[in-house]
Structure 1
Amino acid sequence: MAEQAHRVVASYKPSKFDKKILLWTGRFKTEEEIPLRIPPEMLDKARNKARVKACYIMIGLSIIACFAVIASAKKAAARHESLMSLNLAKKAKWRKEAALAAEAKTK
């Protein structure tokens, strides 16, 4: 008897964001199909599925970014650009500006 009293089905009212997750994960086709109250387990499963999808998207974007960096580095190497040469040019410019500023102070 006491065991049956604790078997109350919990329900959860989904927010707009929860509804978007339920739609994105394919649990429901349209927003109108989503009931006013859903079991928390359904939302947990949808959130986990959305988390996995988001991770796959980030992995794909990271791989694309890696290839973009490789292509950019190859182009820079073809132009004989390197970080060392860029830093040396920047420091030479700063030295020249400092010399001009010192010269202007002495006048």
Structure 2
Amino acid sequence: MGSLRSLRLAAGSCFRLCERDASSSLRLTRNSDLKRINGFCTKPQESSRAPSHTYSHRVPLHKPTSWEKKILIWSGRFKKEDEIPETVTFEMLDAAKNKVRVKISYIMIALTVAGCILMIIEGKKAARRNETLTSLNLEKKARLREEAAMKAKTE
């Protein structure tokens, strides 16, 4: 048990020594003005001219259509159409559309499950009344034979 503890202490001190050496070498590279690119050391190039274009940090806005206003209301973002501002961000509109898509998919899943349950119930009722596809096809073929026989007699 004592040897395991001494092994841990030795490993910990070795790790601290390596960590100290690594951090000192990192400090040296941070302070130097050399830049390392693909294994070669080069001095950073100094740009004498300013950038030719400037970036504005404005978010692009969009004037929502009447359909998009309905989507914003259905998504729960706004309560009334009067509360919707003249312009909204594309991110807000995308988030509202995604929320409505999810709601519609949940509704479709619920309707599909309800339709399946309804068809199962109707199928069991039809089976109790002996309205199977086989019996319906046999009745239809018998009726067609009778009609064909009646036509043959009248001609």
Q: The TM-score by the shorter chain falls in which range? A: 0.7 to 0.9
* Higher CA-based Rg: 2
Structure 2 unmatched runs, 5+ = 1-50
1:4 matched to 2:94: no
Name whichever structure is richer in strand by fraction.
Answer: 2
Deviations 1:2-36 (A, max 9, x none): 3524x342111111111111101100011000011
Structure 1 unmatched runs, 5+ = none
How many residues are matched?
Answer: 104
Cα distance between partner residues in 2 of 1:101 and 1:91: 15
Q: Which has the higher contact order (CA 8 A, sep 6+)?
A: 1
Tell me which of 111, 129, 132 is aligned to 1:82. 132
Cα distance between partner residues in 2 of 1:40 and 1:32: 19
Cα distance between partner residues in 2 of 1:13 and 1:98: 69
Moved over 3 A (4+): none
RMSD across aligned positions (CA)? 1.5
Cα distance between partner residues in 2 of 1:72 and 1:50: 33
Name whichever structure is richer in helix by fraction.
Answer: 1
Cα distance between partner residues in 1 of 2:152 and 2:65: 65
TM-score (norm 2): 0.62
TM-score (norm 1): 0.87
